[in-house]
Amino acid sequence: MRILIVEDDPGIAGALRTGLEDEHYVVEVATDGESGLAAARTGGFDLVVLDLLLPRLAGMEVCRRLRAARSAVPILMLTARDSTRDIVAGLDTGANDYLTKPFSFEELLARVRALLRSATKALAATVRIGPLAVDTAARRATCSGIPLDLTAKEYQLLEFLAVHRDQVVSKDRLSRSLWMHASEPESNALEVYIAALRKKLATTGGDGLIQTLRGAGYMLREVAG
């Protein structure tokens, strides 16, 4: 999952980057409104954490322009303003959630998870596909009740496929959700992770869950019958 943080305060931006990266999100930071808007429009992010008081372009304006450009990316507004009027204005401009400073990092994480969940139409933190259960809050997965011993990247890959269940996910999109820059890893890195994941699933009764669609990408789907 790719998260864009648009925040000019180095203390807050740094902590958010570290904390979110700990949770295996792919994080990018923009320190002013203009670069934040540009990144949000082109970066293929799954979520934007947007401060309102920004140099060059106010957060509210970034949000308005993103929505005007038909971007549906979930936006979590982060600001020192806490009046009802400000919150209403923020949400009406197109923000999906609103968090006032100072905030608890755990709460921010929970809101990030909730926003990502609703964006992928998932109903709860745990996604179940046949014998597979992916707990996106605890970042653990089980298959047929047996815990899967996954590396961080393997888990991220599985979670991304799980929350986008029954959809074809392109290799490019999968790569970008795993790495900051899609072109950097060797071209077969994704295939290597997919193979490892398939092997671990096969030993726990999850054989055939990950399907390959030639030239399109991968899909996680319950095996019929």
Nearer to another protein, 9 or 222 (CB): 9
Nearer to another protein, 56 or 67 (CB): 56
Q: Which of 81, 128, 198, 221 binds another protein (CB under 8 A)?
A: 81
What's the min distance (Å) between Cβ of 155 and another protein? 16
Q: Is residue 32 within 8 Å of residue 60, measured between CB atoms? A: no
Q: Is 14 in the site for another protein (CB under 8 A)?
A: yes
Instruction: Name which of residues 116 to 135 contact another protein (CB under 8 A).
Output: none
Please state the φ and ψ torsions of residue 219, each to the nearest 5 degrees: -145, 140
Find all residues with CB under 8 Å of 25, minimum gap 6, and list them: 1, 2, 3, 112
Task: State how far the Cα of 220 lies from the Cα of 122, in Å rounded to an integer.
Answer: 14
Nearer to another protein, 19 or 185 (CB): 19
Question: Taking CB under 8 A as the rule, which mask of x and - marks residues 29-58 in contact with another protein?
Answer: ---x--------------------xxxx--
Q: Is 11 in the site for another protein (CB under 8 A)?
A: yes
Q: Is 104 in the site for another protein (CB under 8 A)?
A: yes
Nearer to another protein, 8 or 159 (CB): 8
Q: Which of 70, 85, 102, 149 binds another protein (CB under 8 A)?
A: 102
Please state the φ and ψ torsions of residue 91, each to the nearest 5 degrees: -65, -40
Q: Is 114 in the site for another protein (CB under 8 A)?
A: no
Q: Which stretch binds another protein (CB under 8 A): 17-25, 40-48, 145-153, 208-216?
A: 17-25
Q: Is 8 in the site for another protein (CB under 8 A)?
A: yes
User: What six digits make up the tokens of 170?
Assistant: 């392109």
Question: Looking at beta carbons, which pairs linking 110-113 to residues 24 or more positions away fall under 8 Å?
Answer: 110/137, 111/76, 112/3, 112/20, 112/25, 112/47, 112/49, 112/76, 113/137
Nearer to another protein, 136 or 204 (CB): 136
What's the min distance (Å) between Cβ of 96 and another protein? 20
Task: State how far the Cα of 178 lies from the Cα of 187, in Å rounded to an integer.
Answer: 13
Task: State how far the Cα of 190 lies from the Cα of 155, in Å rounded to an integer.
Answer: 13
Closest-CA residue to 75 (of 56, 57, 59): 59
Angle at 190 between CA 136 and CA 139, to 5 degrees: 15
* Site of interaction with another protein (CB under 8 A): 8-12, 14-16, 18-19, 22, 32, 53-56, 80-81, 100-106
